[in-house]
């Protein structure tokens, strides 16, 4: 019988697994902690969304919290969680010092999702039409906040091996503070992929991505202006269907059915969309982390064509489930070849299944992750003693962020 312990998750937003990979990732983490015997409360300062997961059906308690308000102190002290998981560094900034002050023995874990400073530094380099260099990271203001959050936390979950390397080499973070934990997926069994729609049944190209995410919007523009015209010349009957949550008016204005370019908006079932497409296109020119749209393609038996940033840290030494290229001509040529060649398409599909099973099968990580959590809980005082810079940052955060937050709270109370 597992001992019941409390886990508090503080989310930037309520999880939306059908809107973003981050939402799916959060549900995977919830499952992992429930299997370890934790009762879970998910708290967030965000407004409710019609697309948020039904937490009650997942046996997760829901709690709305307020920024810069001592009501959180009362709540967290009363709950007295065993572990607090911060969803992205912004939540650790806002609530980490309050957790440390009111629940000093709670294990504090940061789920980074991806390195925000890496994504923003690459985006800046792209817009300035220059090559990204690692020194760019050291110049990013957000990097200072993000790395400080990692140092203050007892453990940070890192989704990408590439980002693990950056944190250890560029930022000199002690690897005891980092834990590589990618997407945790079900193994694709033979019976499953035998039921995938066949090459003949599938048609058209697809792109899926949340439009609140700048790399996705940029990729759609790239498809519309540069890649799709080249593809369309060689495959005049083919169509490209663009799906994504939260499309803006400027996204919808790209809808050009006569050109075979269709803006579809939010997908009711992203898996169904990917399974019925013959190829997923993802020409990402900047970004970070692991790309949920490409994982989803592999899970649906759908080959993909992407860039080196798109495939970064995703397939190790295994062959990609399609093509990886940064050259626009090669990208369009690869898309045409893969669209027409059943043998190549089938081999690419098998590559994707191998990547999922050999790199993301949750059975590979569950036991070690549970052991890591138990080890830290049992050795927390020494672990924190070894993390002097984290203690230093925690001390100054309590001295600065605390009083800034108290000032904001007092100001808000005066307005009332």
Give pLDDT tens digits for 216-271.
Answer: 999 999 999 999 999 999 999 999 999 998 999 999 999 999 999 999 998 888 89
Q: 360 versus 390: which is more confidently predicted? A: 360
Helix (H) or strand (E) holding 215: helix 214-222
Clarify whether residues 218 and 205 are in a common domain. Answer: yes
| Res 398: pLDDT | 64
Which domain range does residue 332 map to? 190-360
pLDDT at 1 over 80: no
Residues 284 and 139 in one domain: no
Short-list 310, 288, 291, CA closest to 116: 288
Return the SS3 of 352.
helix
Instruction: Give per-residue pLDDT as tens, 64-76.
Output: 999 988 999 999 9
Q: Into how many domains does the chain fold?
A: 2
Across the chain, what does the average pLDDT equal? 93
Model confidence over 29-47: pLDDT tens digits?
999 999 999 999 999 999 9
Query: In whole angstroms, what is the distance from residue 275 CA to residue 383 CA?
Result: 46
323 shares its domain with 393: no
Q: Domain ends where: 360, 377, 400?
A: 360
pLDDT of residue 400: 63
Domain match, 260 and 223 both: yes
d(CA 148, CA 155): 12
What whole-number percentage of the chain has pLDDT above 90?
A: 84
**Residue tagged 């970070």 (tokens):** 288
What average pLDDT does range 95-112 have in this prediction?
A: 96
Query: Average pLDDT for residues 155-175, to the nearest whole number?
Result: 97
Please check the confidence at residue 404 and state whether its pLDDT lies above 90. Answer: no
Same domain, 356 and 378: no
Query: What percent of the chain lies above the pLDDT cut of 70?
Result: 95
Q: Cα(42)–Cα(54) distance, rounded to whole angstroms?
A: 11
pLDDT of residue 144: 94
The domain that holds 343 is classified in CATH as 3.40.50.2000
| Same structural domain, 334 and 248 | yes
pLDDT tens, position by position, 329-362: 999 999 999 999 999 999 999 999 999 999 999 9
Q: At what angle do helices 21-35 and 292-299 cross, to 10 degrees?
A: 70
Instruction: Report the relative pairing of strands 155-158 and 178-180 from DSSP bridges.
Output: parallel
Spatial strand order in the sheet of 205-208 = 261-265, 240-243, 205-208, 279-282, 304-306, 322-324
Tell me: do 135 and 82 sit in the same domain: yes
Single residue among 316, 332, 360 that ends a domain in this structure = 360
Are 269 and 392 within one domain?
no
Confidence at 20, pLDDT banded by 50, 70, 90: confident
Query: Residues 152, 245: one domain?
Result: no
**Helix residue ranges, H only, 36-104:** 71-79, 89-102
- CB-CB neighbours of 149 under 10 Å: 23
Quick one: which of 283, 330, 286 has its CA closest to 130?
286
pLDDT of residue 401: 67
- The residues, any chain, with a CB within 8 Å of residue 360's CB and separated by 6 or more, are 182, 183, 184, 185, 295
Q: Say yes or no: 45 and 180 in one domain.
A: yes
- How would residue 396 be classed by pLDDT, with cut points 50, 70 and 90? confident
- Which secondary-structure segment (H or E) carries 167? helix 161-169
Same domain? For 75 and 159 the reply is: yes
pLDDT, residue 2, reads: 45
pLDDT at 290 over 80: yes
Please identify, among 321, 343, 360, the residue that sits at the C-terminal boundary of a domain.
360
pTM: 0.93
Residues 36 and 164 placed together within one structural domain of the fold: yes
The pLDDT of residue 391: 87
* CB of 39 closer than 8 Å to CB of 73: no
CA distance 44 to 88: 12
Q: How confident is the model at residue 415 (pLDDT cuts 50, 70, 90)?
A: low
């Amino acid at each position: 019988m597992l001992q019941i312990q409390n886990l508090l998750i503080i989310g930037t937003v309520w999880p939306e697994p059908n809107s973003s990979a981050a939402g799916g990732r959060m549900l995977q983490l919830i499952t992992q902690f429930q299997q370890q015997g934790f009762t879970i409360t998910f708290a967030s300062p965000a407004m409710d969304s019609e697309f948020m997961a039904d937490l009650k059906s997942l046996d997760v308690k829901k709690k709305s919290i307020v920024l810069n308000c001592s009501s959180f102190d009362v709540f967290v002290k009363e709950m007295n969680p065993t572990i607090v998981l911060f969803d992205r560094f912004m939540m650790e900034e806002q609530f980490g010092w309050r957790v440390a002050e009111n629940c000093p023995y709670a294990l504090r874990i940061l789920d980074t999702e991806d390195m925000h400073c890496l994504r923003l530094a690459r985006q800046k380099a792209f817009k300035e039409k220059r090559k990204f260099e690692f020194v760019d990271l050291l110049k990013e203001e957000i990097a200072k906040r993000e790395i400080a959050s990692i140092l203050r936390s007892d453990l940070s979950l890192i989704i990408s091996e590439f980002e693990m390397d950056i944190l250890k080499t560029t930022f000199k973070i002690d690897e005891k503070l980092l834990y590589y934990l990618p997407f945790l997926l079900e193994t694709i069994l033979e019976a499953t992929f035998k039921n995938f729609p066949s090459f003949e049944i599938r048609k058209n190209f697809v792109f899926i991505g949340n439009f609140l995410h700048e790399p996705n919007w940029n990729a759609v523009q790239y498809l519309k202006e540069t890649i799709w015209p080249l593809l369309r010349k060689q495959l005049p009957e083919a169509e490209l269907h663009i799906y994504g949550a939260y499309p803006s008016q400027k996204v919808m204005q790209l809808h050009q059915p006569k050109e075979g370019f269709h803006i579809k908006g939010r997908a009711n079932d992203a898996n169904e969309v990917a399974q019925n497409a013959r190829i997923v296109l993802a020409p990402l020119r900047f970004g970070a982390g692991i790309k949920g749209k490409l994982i989803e393609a592999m899970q649906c038996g759908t080959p993909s064509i992407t860039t080196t940033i798109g495939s970064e840290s995703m397939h190790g030494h295994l062959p990609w489930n399609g093509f990886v290229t940064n050259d626009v001509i090669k990208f369009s040529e690869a898309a045409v070849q893969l669209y027409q060649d059943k043998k190549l398409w089938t081999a690419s599909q098998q590559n994707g299944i191998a990547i999922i099973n050999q790199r993301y099968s949750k059975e590979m990580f569950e036991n070690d992750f549970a052991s890591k959590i138990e080890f830290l809980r049992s050795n927390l005082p020494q672990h924190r003693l070894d993390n002097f810079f984290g203690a230093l940052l925690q001390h100054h955060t309590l001295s600065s962020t605390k009083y800034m937050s108290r000032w904001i709270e007092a100001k808000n109370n005066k307005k009332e």
